[in-house]
Structure 1
Amino acid sequence: MTIPTPVPIGRRLALVSETDIEIYRFQPAGHVAATLGTRNGPVCAPLLVYSVLSADSIRLVHSDGVAITWTNIEIERDVLRAECEGRIKTFTIE
């Protein structure tokens, strides 16, 4: 049985932050195009791989093996909230 993906596929997720940049676009084939960095600072655009852990959790993995897990994912209208490394992050869904 396949677990449904707890993030919107093909839509842009943008972190709500005054200082940090995190933009993700999840693709059906298990890849994520990301833009990560800080405003007025360095930015990178890695291609990540994601896997669904449960109905409300995913793991993002970079090619160098660094993994980040999002848990307790909730979507309400055009907002996604997820716990990541002990912090709640809020993303707009565009």
Structure 2
Amino acid sequence: MRKSALACMVGVGMLLNSPTLISQVQIVKAEPQVAACLALGEVRASSGYGKKFGWRSLAEKLALRQAQQRGATHAIVKEFKPQGAFNGIAALRIFRCAP
């Protein structure tokens, strides 16, 4: 394996285990749970390129991080779209709800 590929894999692993990646955005199952909230739109995140068996989890964590950066408190998973066998994209609808 090339050093750059190994460094990339180690970097992604460190990113996922980083405390700054832990999102405070709550995933809800249905629209009624966010009916009184402000809709902020949609975020999409890719798992990146590489053979990742857990690409859904990776893409979801990255999308939740984006949602948090945009001020979201809640999200609904819109879709997981495979990009080949081992990669893909997570799309979330995001909302800001009053405390």
Q: What is the TM-score of this pair, normalised by structure 2? A: 0.25
Structure number with the higher helix fraction is 2
Q: What is the TM-score of this pair, normalised by structure 1? A: 0.26
The structure showing larger relative contact order (alpha-carbon pairs under 8 Å, at least 6 residues apart) is 2
